């Protein structure tokens, strides 16, 4: 009689170990699947990063031509065409997750800005961006190009 009880206890312990092992294997596989899905999501999210980074100089050129044409704009259809192309391009890139970094009159932040020079200003407190040399951009909250800026500094006499 005692042998049957021991056998049933062994069987119960063996079954519990089996269920624990199955649970552990399924948990591990589920964790691997979640990690894989996260990696796939990141790959698809940032798949356009190289292409968009290569387009940034073209965007800069369009912005410079629009700024130069704004001074001489006499209702010119060429200027309006460039303006339309620029706005369409920016709309498409914004849909893909591209956002310009707002730098002007903001405190200097090394995570978003690259200081090109520091310039003393009387009416502005130190470490404030006073001029944007080149626009910076983020893609899905990841900085793909830092904004190149000029930062205010304290006067030399102070």
pLDDT band at 61 (very low <50, low <70, confident <90, very high): very high
Spell out the residues 6+ positions from residue 112 whose beta carbon is closer than 8 angstroms to its own: 101, 103, 136, 138, 143, 146, 147
Under CATH, which number does the domain 99-158 receive? 2.30.22.10
Name the phi and psi angles at 151, rounded to 5. -115, 145
Would you kindly state where each structural domain of the chain is located, as residue ranges?
99-158
Structure-block tokens of residue 70:
């704004």
Can you read off the two tokens belonging to residue 104? 């002007």
Q: Tens digit of pLDDT for each residue in 121-156?
A: 878 888 899 999 999 999 988 999 999 999 998 876
For 89-112, the pLDDT digits (tens) are 999 999 989 999 999 999 999 999
Task: Output the six-digit token pair for 142.
Answer: 């990841």
The per-residue pLDDT for 156 is: 66
**Sequence-distant (≥ 6) Cβ neighbours of residue 102 within 8 angstroms:** none
State the chain's mean pLDDT as an integer: 82
């Amino acid at each position: 009689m005692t042998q049957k009880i021991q056998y049933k206890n062994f069987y119960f312990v063996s079954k519990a170990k089996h269920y624990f092992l199955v649970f552990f294997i399924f948990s591990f596989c589920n964790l691997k699947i979640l990690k894989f899905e996260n990696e796939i999501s990141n790959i698809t999210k940032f798949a356009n990063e190289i292409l968009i980074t290569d387009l940034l100089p073209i965007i800069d050129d369009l912005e410079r031509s629009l700024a130069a044409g704004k001074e001489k704009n006499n209702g010119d259809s060429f200027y309006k065409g460039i303006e339309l192309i620029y706005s369409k391009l920016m709309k498409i890139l914004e849909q893909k997750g591209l956002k310009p970094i707002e730098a002007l009159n903001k405190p200097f932040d090394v995570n978003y800005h690259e200081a090109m020079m520091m310039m003393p200003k009387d009416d502005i407190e130190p470490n404030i961006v006073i001029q944007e040399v080149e626009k910076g951009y983020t893609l899905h909250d990841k900085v793909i190009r830092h904004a190149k800026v000029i930062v205010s500094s304290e006067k030399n006499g102070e």
